[in-house]
């Protein structure tokens, strides 16, 4: 179950300097793509953001170490096992997987970044993972983005891709990325895995700063169930193969960053659209806060409310649940008499009470839609922000109740 159209109907542009290999290693299930290798051209710059969950997975710890040590040449991704909550043995497994891939390709183990997703608390089946590496390396090719998007899925129902070409300095620059995620989605960085590459030339410090800023406005603005994962990672590589240098400032930087933001936003929203059991794609837009944090406090209180989310699933315009969320979001000295709330184009609350123009029929008509915007006007200042979320359905409970069975 997913909301809106598939994202794979667009043209997927290969990124010069990137090859991707996929294999079926049988890490958790047979006959399923579950091992993905990204190979980056020499000289590529790499930036990344990782989960802030203090029980971060072994591959997250190793990836951070290797990223700090130099320029990565390979990314190794497995599904089916998160290798989180596995202590020192899990760290040893993550390092062994890097060493095994490095040996096949002929690089140093520190040039490999490992990533894992799947069940927490189980060790990697190292025999199967290592045995699958030669096939993944043998399959390396430039046009494997769609296969890779399938290869990193867990409870996802469809692959998630975004790809753009923009002209900078009279030359085309490509940005292409994939992501995975459907449950355990509530960012404190970016609750998912995402791999994005460009063929532009970008200095590492600029790449890291632009990635962090883009993540903050995309993956850090989504939530499905309020749970932050142990394995989150968003990685961005610039191969430089197009020969287009992106300076730190100026029109070229602005054009590149706008394209990057578009790709990241599409990937983040694709995760919400494919949320576990989701039947609605919901934008919670809060305006008139004193600062961004006030707006986000209100938006996330609404987006995380089981009562609001189940009303959305039922297409029930029970607007009192939204009103209660605004009131308990923790804003100091909130003048509720100034608050307006809209459901789509229907004003449901005016000046702190039910809008005189509101009718249950009008509210119900909006709630029947697949894509819904809840807008809250606080009238406290000039700040504005938004988050994207889903409803909470029977299928969400079923998927997570049966996750390990």
In this prediction, residue 227 has a pLDDT band, given cuts at 50, 70 and 90, of low
At 404 the pLDDT is 66
Q: Who wins on pLDDT, 52 or 236?
A: 236
The 3-class SS string of 157-198 reads: CCCEEEEEEEEECCEEEEEEEEEECCCCCCCCCCCCEEEEEE
At 401 the pLDDT is 79
pTM for this predicted structure? 0.92
Pairwise CA distance, residues 156 & 116, whole Å: 15
Please state which CATH number belongs to domain 281-401.
3.10.20.340
In this prediction, residue 226 has a pLDDT band, given cuts at 50, 70 and 90, of low
In the chain, % of residues over pLDDT 70: 95
At 8 the pLDDT is 60
- Whether 281-401 and 18-273 are alike in CATH topology: the answer is no
Q: Is 191 a catalytic residue?
A: yes
Extents of the domains making up the chain: 18-273, 281-401
- Worst-scoring range by mean pLDDT, 145-149, 155-159, 249-253? 155-159
pLDDT tops 90 at residue 6: no
The edge-to-edge listing of strands for the beta sheet with 112-116 is: 18-23, 35-40, 74-78, 112-116
pLDDT tops 70 at residue 186: no
In this prediction, residue 396 has a pLDDT band, given cuts at 50, 70 and 90, of confident
CA-to-CA dists, residue 404 to 28, 29, 119, 395, angstroms: 10, 12, 8, 15
4: left (phi over 0), alpha (psi -120 to 50) or beta: left
DSSP state of 405: -
pLDDT tops 50 at residue 191: no
Query: DSSP alpha helices (H): ranges in 32-86?
Result: 58-69
Q: What is the mean pLDDT of residues 26-49?
A: 94
Q: What is the mean pLDDT of residues 322-350?
A: 96
CATH of range 18-273; options 3.40.50.720, 3.60.70.12, 3.40.50.150, 1.10.287.110 = 3.60.70.12
| Residue 3 tokens, joined | 């909301």
73: left (phi over 0), alpha (psi -120 to 50) or beta: alpha
Q: What is the mean pLDDT of residues 269-273?
A: 89
At 277 the pLDDT is 75
Catalytic residue among 191, 230, 239, 301: 191
Let me know: does 217 contact 295? Beta carbons within 8 Å: no
At 185 the pLDDT is 55
């Amino acid at each position: 179950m997913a909301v809106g159209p598939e994202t794979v109907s667009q043209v997927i542009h290969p990124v010069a300097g990137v090859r991707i290999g996929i294999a079926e290693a049988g890490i958790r299930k047979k006959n399923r793509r579950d091992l993905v290798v990204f190979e980056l051209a020499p000289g590529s710059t790499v930036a990344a953001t990782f989960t802030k969950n203090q029980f971060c997975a072994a591959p997250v710890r190793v990836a951070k170490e290797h990223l700090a040590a130099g320029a990565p040449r390979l990314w190794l991704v497995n599904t089916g096992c998160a290798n989180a909550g596995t202590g020192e043995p899990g760290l040893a497994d993550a390092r062994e997987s890097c060493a095994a891939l490095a040996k096949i390709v002929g690089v140093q183990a520190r040039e490999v970044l490992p990533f894992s997703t799947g069940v927490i608390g189980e060790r990697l089946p190292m025999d199967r993972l290592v045995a699958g590496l030669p096939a993944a390396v043998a399959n390396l090719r430039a046009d494997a983005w769609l296969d890779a998007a399938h290869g990193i899925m867990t409870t996802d129902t469809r692959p998630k891709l975004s790809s753009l070409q923009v002209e900078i300095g009279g030359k085309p620059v490509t940005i292409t990325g994939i992501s995975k995620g459907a449950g355990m989605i509530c960012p404190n960085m970016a609750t998912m895995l995402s791999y994005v590459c460009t063929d532009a030339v970008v200095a590492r410090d600029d790449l890291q700063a632009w990635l962090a800023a883009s993540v903050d406005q995309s993956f850090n603005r989504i939530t499905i169930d309020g749970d932050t994962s142990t394995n989150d990672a968003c990685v961005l590589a610039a191969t430089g193969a197009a020969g287009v240098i992106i300076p730190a400032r100026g029109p070229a930087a602005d054009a590149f960053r706008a394209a990057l933001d578009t790709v990241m936003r599409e990937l983040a929203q694709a995760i919400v659209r494919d949320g576990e059991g989701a039947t609605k794609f919901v934008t919670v837009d809060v305006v008139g806060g004193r600062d961004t944090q006030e707006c986000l406090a209100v938006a996330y209180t609404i987006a995380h409310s089981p009562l609001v989310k189940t009303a959305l699933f039922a297409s029930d315009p029970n607007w009192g649940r939204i009103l209660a969320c605004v009131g308990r979001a923790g804003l100091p000295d909130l003048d509720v008499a100034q608050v307006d709330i809209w459901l789509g184009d229907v004003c449901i609350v005016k000046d702190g009470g039910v809008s005189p123009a509101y009718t249950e029929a009008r509210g119900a008509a909006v709630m029947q839609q697949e894509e819904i915007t809840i807008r809250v006007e606080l009238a406290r200042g000039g700040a504005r922000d938004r988050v994207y979320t889903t409803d909470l359905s029977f299928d969400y409970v079923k998927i997570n109740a049966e996750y390990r069975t």
